[in-house]
Amino acid sequence: MNKLDTSYLKKCNRALESSFRKLQGYSENDIEHEIYRSAVIKEFEIILEQSGKLLKKPYVRTSTAIKQQINWFSKNYLGMQACTP
């Protein structure tokens, strides 16, 4: 069996964690807060895409699964309310 190359996924995870830590250091009124918030969201999107490519599973592509993942991410990383289905 071939081994999955997860180096890019790990790099994205490190970037997400770093951006999230920096995001927490700024007030919502600071422009840096918006910059790091955008970076966190973009890294999360990249991680979803990369994970789907690595897994090659159809459930990753369903809107319900994506909404569930986004809701989890919003709650756990951004402290935001979940979006309605």
Better-predicted residue by pLDDT, 73 or 30: 30
Position 84 confidence tier, pLDDT thresholds 50, 70, 90:
very low
As a whole number of angstroms, the distance between CA 20 and CA 22 comes to 5
As a whole number of angstroms, the distance between CA 10 and CA 25 comes to 23
Query: Does the reported pTM lie above 0.75?
Result: no
pLDDT at 60 over 50: no
Could you read off the pLDDT of 21-42 as tens digits, one per residue?
999 999 999 999 999 999 999 9
Mark 63-72 as b/e (b = at least 16 C-beta within 10 Å): eeeeeeebbe
pLDDT at 65 over 80: no
pLDDT at 6: 77
As a whole number of angstroms, the distance between CA 44 and CA 15 comes to 10
As a whole number of angstroms, the distance between CA 30 and CA 52 comes to 34
Classify residue 29 by its DSSP letter: T
Give me the mean pLDDT over the 31-54 stretch: 89
Classify residue 62 by its DSSP letter: S
